[in-house]
Amino acid sequence: MTVSLLAVLVAILLRIVIFGMPEASLFQVGYACLAAFASSLIGVLLIENVNRYPGVERASAIVPSFAAAYGLIAIGLLMFKLDYSRFVLIGSFVAVVLLSYLEHFRYKDELVLRISVLAQPDGAALPQLPSIDWLKHSDHAGFDHADAIAVDFRLPLSDRQSEMLADAALAGIPVYNLRHLIESVTGEVTLEHISETAYGSLTPSPVYQTIKHVLDRLIALVVLIPLLPFLLLAGIAIKLDSPGPMIFRQSRMGYRAQPFTVYKFRTMQHCTAPTPAGLDDLVTKDADARVTRIGRIFRRTRVDELPQIVNILLGQMSWIGPRPEAEKLSRWYEEEIPYYRYRHVVRPGISGWAQTVQGHVADVDSVSTKLNHDFFYIKNFSLWLDLLILAKTLRVMVSGFGSK
């Protein structure tokens, strides 16, 4: 509430300082203030909703939450043909985002959740995170010092434990499924038995999948036209930097395990050898000597991925989804890693959950962890998670995280 009011006040003050006191535009400013206040409140609610589990970093949720809220309100203003001050609305959006980040970083170190673990499998390790203090619980103690309770509901609970959970819920203390909570704080879903997927628990929503597929292609069509001059300049830069084609083509494993040809800007020295590439040649190593000068810049900023807009238009890829692996590498992973094929249940993406939290990986152990991240995305397949990945992707493009 405080952040929402401050954001609106900041926008109004800037409007007065730059344009003077509103007179004929009084109603425009009034409508914009109401819209801004409602948008910021909705954005705060969205952030709090995603933070029901502590696994999602609050900072990553700020921009997509407020962008979605302000976008919905703006559509409403257009539908009802209300004349409003765009300066106040846009200014309040910028202000509420900045104020939210300031608030987050000011109290970030103080936000340590104390979670009491009531039932836990023997020998199971809990992830050690600076934002969570795991409390060992005794059946003879209460939950007075706990912010939340975690229980593995696969284990039998005593009558005493069931009563304690009921009392805690009535007292307003959140009770989490321990397994779901660990998935949330780690961003991974680990498959232990094939029965875990037998009833569709990792099958994404077909409705959202269809809507997303249509939106992906529409957005690709809209952004490709203005991007064409930039893509042409990028291609010329590649040609001037090293001999070889502008575009790199490779067969990769796609949706429903169907191979397709992926398009990327070439970032490595062009190889004219007729011999087929081995597995080692398909993996990009740290400080790989094959990467060109312009290629390093393109990889760091993810510019090399932009030609995959064509793959999206062809319906082979999505903007957001598990990254497609080289077909030969993917088949090798299938032999080495159980359940690897299940990641093909959704369309591969230009950016994905694993890339934004883990970066580029190649060895089997790291790929197994990456697969757990992919399953987390598939299990939580939703518009909200896609917006969160989009926000993280923008941060990755600036920082260069995970590039090789």
Q: Which tokens sit at 182?
A: 């660990």
Is a pLDDT exceeding 90 seen at residue 153?
no
Residue 84 confidence (pLDDT): 78
Neighbours of 389 (CB within 10 A): 25
Residue 363 confidence (pLDDT): 63
Is a pLDDT exceeding 70 seen at residue 34?
yes
The number of C-alpha atoms within 13 Å of 265 and in the hemisphere containing its C-beta is 28
Most confident of 53-62, 209-218, 338-347: 209-218
Is a pLDDT exceeding 80 seen at residue 21?
no
Which of these ranges, 72-86, 181-195, 227-241, has the smallest mean pLDDT? 181-195
Full DSSP string of 123-182: TPPPP--TTEEEEE--TTS--TT-SEEEE-TTS---HHHHHHHHHHHHTT--EEEHHHHH
Q: Give me the chain's average pLDDT, please.
A: 79
Going by the DSSP 8-state scheme, the letter that residue 349 receives in this structure is: E
Is a pLDDT exceeding 90 seen at residue 8?
no
- Averaged pLDDT, 331-351: 87
Those residues whose C-beta lies under 8 Å from the C-beta of residue 28, and which sit 6 or more positions away, are 22, 83, 84, 85
Alpha-carbon span 319 to 215, nearest angstrom? 10
Alpha-carbon span 134 to 113, nearest angstrom? 8
Q: Provide the whole-model pTM.
A: 0.71
Q: Are 319 and 353 in contact (CB under 8 A)?
A: no
- Averaged pLDDT, 20-24: 56
Alpha-carbon span 91 to 30, nearest angstrom? 14
- Averaged pLDDT, 262-279: 73
Alpha-carbon span 396 to 388, nearest angstrom? 12
Helix (H) or strand (E) holding 108: none
Residue 152 confidence (pLDDT): 84
Alpha-carbon span 272 to 262, nearest angstrom? 19
Task: Please work out, in degrees rounded to the nearest 5, the angle formed at the alpha carbon of residue 208 by the alpha carbons of 198 and 41.
Answer: 120
β-pair type (247-253, 259-265): antiparallel
Those residues whose C-beta lies under 8 Å from the C-beta of residue 342, and which sit 6 or more positions away, are 191, 197, 202, 375, 378
Residue 262 confidence (pLDDT): 96
Nearest to 400 by CA among 304, 311, 264: 304
Residue 253 confidence (pLDDT): 94
Sign of the dihedral defined by the CA atoms of residues 16, 19, 20, 22, in that order: negative
Alpha-carbon span 246 to 264, nearest angstrom? 9
pLDDT class for 400, splitting at 50, 70, 90?
low
β-pair type (349-351, 318-320): parallel
Alpha-carbon span 153 to 173, nearest angstrom? 17
> First vs last Cα of the chain: how many Å apart?
43
Which of these ranges, 204-208, 252-256, 309-313, has the smallest mean pLDDT? 204-208
- Collapse the DSSP code of 283 into the 3-class scheme (helix H, G, I; strand E, B; otherwise coil) and give the result: coil
Q: What is the pLDDT of residues 159-217, one digit of tens each?
A: 887 888 888 777 778 888 888 888 877 778 776 655 454 434 456 778 888 889 999 99
Alpha-carbon span 34 to 349, nearest angstrom? 38
Is a pLDDT exceeding 70 seen at residue 261?
yes
